[in-house]
Amino acid sequence: MLLFTSLIVLFGVVRTDEPLRPQYHLMPVKNWLNDPNGPVYFNGYYHMFFQYNPNAAVWGDMHWAHSYSKDMVHWIHLPIALAPDQPYDTNGIFTGSITIVDGIPIIIYTGITHDNQQVQCQAQPANISDPTLTTW
């Protein structure tokens, strides 16, 4: 792992002009990244979901962001995977995981209701034939 990390830094696989921004760590283009959730390998791609506030660089307004990669070094950011837009998760989408059931990735996550009750929720891809699992 140390050799791999050294090669990434040495050859500049990932570059940034921001001196305090990590050079090879998956992070969103902007705003708050929280817990990684639901890493999964599916149909030739690594997928990483993480708690994310798309509206500010502070904790709150929790969504799940989604990125995917062929090599776990070069990541492509996709649109928000899960947004708090249902009665069972209106106050946020929190910790969860992914499992594959009968060939279908299933997200299990904690939703927070309008009266701050924690409930277990499930999501699955809108189009299972989409290898990037863009829409949930």
Enumerate the β-bridge partners of residue 46.
41, 69
Q: Is 35 a catalytic residue?
A: yes
pLDDT at 34: 87
Give the model confidence (pLDDT) of 9-36 as tens digits: 433 444 567 777 666 677 788 888 888 9
**For residue 3, is pLDDT > 70?**
no
Give the model confidence (pLDDT) of 64-115 as tens digits: 999 999 999 889 999 999 999 999 999 999 999 999 999 999 999 999 999 9
Q: State the residue for tokens 């040495």.
A: 10
The residues, ordered by sequence, that sit 6+ positions from 5 with a Cβ below 8 Å of its Cβ are 24
pLDDT at 21: 66
Element (H, E) at 11: helix 2-11
Enumerate the β-bridge partners of residue 42.
45
Give me the catalytic one of 17, 35, 71, 89.
35
CA-angle at 129, arms to 127 and 135, nearest 5°: 30
